[in-house]
Each structure stands twice: as C-alpha cells, then as structure tokens.
Structure 1
Amino acid sequence: MPEAVGVIQTLGFPAVLAAADAMVKAARVTIVYYDIAESGNQVVAVRGTTSEVRPSVEAGIEAANKTVGGEVITYYIVPNPPDNVVSVLPIEYTEKVERFR
C-alpha cells in the first residue's frame, strides 16, 4: 500500500512539539523527519497510509494553533510520493524510526 507524507511547518518549538504529539496520537503514523527551518520555524514530517496521514496532519495543525504563541506557517500532504522523491528528500524510514512503524 502506498505511503503518504504529511509535513507541518510551525513558528517556534512548542508549536511543533504539540503538533508532533497530536499527529502520532491521532493516527497510525511515524515521525520520519524533524528539523529547524529558517527564521525560527520548525518542520515535522510523518509517514503512513493516506487515510492515516490526513487526520494526523489535521490534528497536528489544530494542536499547533492552540499552543500559546504557536502558529502553523504551512502544511502539505503528498499522497504517494515517487521513489526518486523519497530517496532524495529526508522522508525515508530510517533504522532509527523503524521500530515505531
């Protein structure tokens, strides 16, 4: 079954922490990427089936926006990324996250 990718970019760490927490609690997804973007923005990405990633991202957006001072800058869901995108961008399942799948 194809794996989707969901990404949320927030302003500040508390908002991305709230988003990541809500995302993994709302659906069967795995966090595959986290990093600091420019200007203090934070990015978190999850993988799972499309039917799981959509509610996960929605829950993450809601949680981030409820965080004091938190703000969702942008978000995006890719339903079925091609292999060349997965191999180039840091959204693969790594050994570090494999046990959480």
Structure 2
Amino acid sequence: MKEALGLIETVGMAAAIEAADTCVKSANVELIGYELTRGQGMVTVKIKGDVGAVKAAVESAKVSAGKVNKVVSTLVIPRPAQGIQGIIESDSTVGIEREEDNKKEALEDNKEVEIVKEEVTKQDEKKKMQQTKK
C-alpha cells in the first residue's frame, strides 16, 4: 500500500459514522470501510489517501466523533508495510470493495444478460411461428 492509512477507533456505530462522514468531507481521502471490534461496542473506521490528507481527516474525525461518543484511539501510518494489507482489508472490513467480488458480480451480470437474451430470442421465434401459422 503506497498511500497512508488512517484508523479511528470509536465506541458505538453513531460515532463511527460521524468519523467516516467527517473524514471524507474534510479531506481528499477514500473510505476503506469499518470493522466491528470484539467486545465493548467498538468500531474502527479505516481510510486511505495521501499522508497530509489522512492526518487532517483523522484529526477532524477525532474531534467530531468525540462529540458523539468516545474516541478510543487514532492512528496514521504514512506508508504501511505491504504485509499488513491483509489485516487492513480483511473479511471483517465492511464496505470494502474487493476486486474478486467485482469480478464475480460482473460474471453474474453477464450470465443474467445471456439468459435474458435467450428468453427474448425464444419469444421472438414463438411470435414468428404464430404469425406464419395465421
């Protein structure tokens, strides 16, 4: 990951949503998603972007989310090691779009289109047969 990583850990979903909203409105960052941590109702919001933008977004989110509920911790990692990408973009992260998910959706969409085309073709053939019988 070449971009900076920002984490905002809050108590409660409302504070997490406030943090995420503030992040994307206050700086040019991308929301990776959120992760529900085990116990105590904590939620971690994950963002990425250029270092300055991530720092600004995390600081803004810390203040705004703190008005809703407790902010447990924040962290900015300027250039995270490649090996931690699996932790950042884990299956527990909600809201993240993975490439393989997008590919599966595209394949499913293509299959649905083919099925519809076949049905339309069959209907057209039936209409032609009915017209020739008349």
| TM-score, normalisation: structure 1 | 0.83
Aligned equivalent of 2:7: 7
Distance (whole Å) between structure 2 residues aligned to residue 5 and residue 46 of structure 1: 6
Aligned equivalent of 2:34: 34
- 1:79 paired with 2:92, answer no
Q: Which runs of 4+ in 1 moved over 6 A?
A: none
Aligned equivalent of 2:87: 89
Q: Percent identity?
A: 28
The size of the alignment, in residue pairs, is 94
SS at match of 2:62: helix
- Offset of 1:95 from its aligned partner? 4.2
Larger Rg: 2
Q: Which runs of no fewer than 5 residues in structure 2 stay unpaired?
A: 91-95, 100-134
Q: Which runs of no fewer than 5 residues in structure 1 stay unpaired?
A: 97-101
* Highest RCO, 1 vs 2 (Cα 8 Å, sep ≥ 6): 1
Q: In the alignment, residue 14 of structure 2 is paired with which amino acid?
A: P
- Offset of 1:85 from its aligned partner? 1.5
- Offset of 1:90 from its aligned partner? 2.8
- Offset of 1:94 from its aligned partner? 3.7
Q: In the alignment, residue 9 of structure 1 is paired with which amino acid?
A: E
- Offset of 1:91 from its aligned partner? 3.6
* Superposed CA offset, 1:78-98 (max 9, x none): 000121122x213487448xx
- Whose strand fraction is larger, Structure 1's or Structure 2's? 1
- 1:17 paired with 2:17, answer yes
Distance (whole Å) between structure 2 residues aligned to residue 25 and residue 73 of structure 1: 21
Distance (whole Å) between structure 1 residues aligned to residue 87 and residue 53 of structure 2: 21
Q: Are residues 91 and 53 of structure 1, via their aligned partners in 2, closer, same or farther at CA, if it must alter by over 3 Å?
A: farther
Distance (whole Å) between structure 2 residues aligned to residue 8 and residue 95 of structure 1: 21
| TM-score, normalisation: structure 2 | 0.63
- Whose helix fraction is larger, Structure 1's or Structure 2's? 2
